[in-house]
Amino acid sequence: MSKFPKLIAGTALATLIAAPTLAEPFGLGREALPEEIAAWNLDIAPDGSNLPVGSGSVEDGEMIFSDNCAACHGEFAEGSGNWPKLAGGDDTLANEDPLKTVGSYWPYLSTVYDYVRRSMPFGAAQTISDDDVYAMVAYILYSNYLVEDDFVLSNENFMDVEMPNADGFIVDDRAETEYPHWTEANACYEDCKDDVQITMRATVLDVTPEETEEASVEEAADDGTTEMVAAETTEEAAPEMAAPDPELVAAGENVFKKCKACHKVGEGAKNGTGPMLNGVMGHPAGQVDGFRYSSALEDAAAGGLVWDEESLAAFLAKPRDFIKGTKMSFVGLRKDEDIAAVSAYLSTFK
């Protein structure tokens, strides 16, 4: 008799002895505690289920967003570099290259709160309080022109906010309506080709347009989430102004960091999302060459608006209140000393 059957039988027996008894538990770990489950149970449904109690204002959200989000998403949620834009894109979803933002595409506000609360800021997820998340979401809504600057978002009014694209999605019922048509029984086998050949190949094309100053200005005007005002330096000399306090100028340079994403000053300054601000103080509004202002700003300029300390201070405090219809999304500077400092800083650029 061959020895191989005995060897095989012996191997099988050893395997059975060595294998764990799958019918019994391994005895590893423990049941999760209620507080541990609660720490992970953060999902918020479109109907607002699981929203935490709390509130946050647009005004507070502007500062929190600036500190935690602006490095990637821009000061006004307009995006920075390749990081996502959170604002803009109105009426672009039918375009060949739509801009999908919170305002133009997202159907549920709960998705915004859930994602920010769960995953942001990058590298420091779940370090923001619930109230601060409400404030950040309120500011994102404001940046999309969906709420006013005095809006306060809370768990109580959360579901009252209507998202523009709430009705832009449908239930995916293709499994019931389409898939049955693509069965073998319904397949068409008539007039088939004898063989399949590749007749063309896709190629990588550089479709990114060359950036020109003119194109960037038009893009800024069409997509512009911000607008400030400056005056073109003309041959006519500006009124003489007293030299500003150097300490105030230094403070203004620091505050102006909130504006640098859109506005440039100094030698070689060019228009961007907003106009360059050289010569803003003491000059008529809306006169920067090559920048397309909003009709609201053009109307104010036609009415004789000149940017002096008083008018600029009122604009910087609440841009949308001072010029109804301005494209500038910045909510405004809260402190009078910050406004005075920025005015002093801008006055140094002739």
Residue 240 lies in a domain: yes
Tell me how far the alpha carbon of residue 183 is from its chain's centroid. 44
Tokens at 222, concatenated: 């069409």
Residues 338 and 227 in one domain: yes
CB 332 within 8 A of CB 319: yes
Residue 174 lies in a domain: no
* pLDDT for the residue 230: 43
Domain stop point among 96, 125, 160: 160
Determine the 3-state secondary structure of 322 from DSSP: helix
CATH number of the domain where residue 230 is located: 1.10.760.10
* pLDDT for the residue 217: 42
Mean pLDDT by 10 residues, the chain (350 residues): 45 49 76 89 91 96 92 88 91 93 96 95 92 97 94 97 94 89 75 79 56 46 46 45 81 82 84 84 87 84 89 86 78 83 87
Q: How far apart are CA 47 and CA 36, in angstroms?
A: 24
Determine the 3-state secondary structure of 152 from DSSP: strand
Residue 202: in which H helix or E strand, if any?
A: none
Residue 253 lies in a domain: yes
Residue 10 lies in a domain: no
Residue 170 lies in a domain: no
Residue 206 lies in a domain: no
Residues 53 and 120 in one domain: yes
State which residues form the domain around 253: 214-346
Determine the 3-state secondary structure of 56 from DSSP: strand
* pLDDT for the residue 321: 83
CA distances from 124 to 40, 49, 118, 253, 260 (A): 16, 25, 10, 29, 25
Domain stop point among 160, 176, 201: 160
Q: What are phi and psi of 55, to 5 degrees?
A: -160, 160
The separation between the first and the last C-alpha atoms of the chain, rounded to the nearest angstrom, is 108
Residue 112 lies in a domain: yes
Q: How far apart are CA 256 and CA 262, in angstroms?
A: 11
Residue 169 lies in a domain: no
How many domains does the structure of the chain reveal? 2
Residue 93: in which H helix or E strand, if any?
A: none
Is there a cis peptide before residue 121, judged by omega within 30 degrees of 0?
yes
Residues 220 and 151 in one domain: no
pTM assigned to the model: 0.55
